[in-house]
């Protein structure tokens, strides 16, 4: 499928917006589209002017910051949920603590 530079910019903008609103379905869709567009860029089927390339990398840097911040937020929530207070049941009796879960981001 041939892409235009504007398609790539729209995908990155949509991805940034979806991350900001925690819209996981759109994030997944944008990720698939972006991977296809980046493959077209590597094959030389999509060409970007230098200023478009600069803007793309700036936007991708913003997207990366959103992902990193979300990862830290979820990791903090996981630590908070794993505190000792969670080892007591409704009756006040001690129960076995759930296993701690940690979200690991890919870089």
Cβ count near 40 (within 10 Å): 17
Nearest to 9 by CA among 57, 44, 50: 57
Q: How confident is the model at residue 69, as a pLDDT?
A: 85
Cα separation, 29 vs 37, whole angstroms? 12
pTM attached to this predicted model:
0.59
Cα separation, 27 vs 12, whole angstroms? 10
Residues of the chain below pLDDT 50: none
Q: How confident is the model at residue 21, as a pLDDT?
A: 84
Cβ count near 6 (within 10 Å): 9
Residues 6+ apart with CB under 8 A from 43: none
Contact 75, 102 (CB under 8 A): yes
């Amino acid at each position: 499928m041939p892409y235009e530079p504007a398609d790539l910019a729209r995908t990155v903008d949509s991805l940034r917006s979806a991350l900001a609103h925690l819209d996981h379905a759109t994030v997944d869709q944008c990720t698939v589209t972006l991977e296809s567009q980046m493959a077209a860029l590597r094959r030389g089927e999509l060409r970007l002017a230098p200023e478009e390339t600069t803007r793309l990398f700036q936007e991708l840097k913003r997207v990366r910051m959103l992902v990193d911040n979300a990862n830290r937020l979820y990791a903090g929530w996981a630590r908070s949920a794993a505190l000792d207070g969670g080892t007591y049941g409704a009756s006040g009796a001690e129960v076995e603590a759930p296993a701690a879960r940690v979200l690991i981001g890919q870089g």
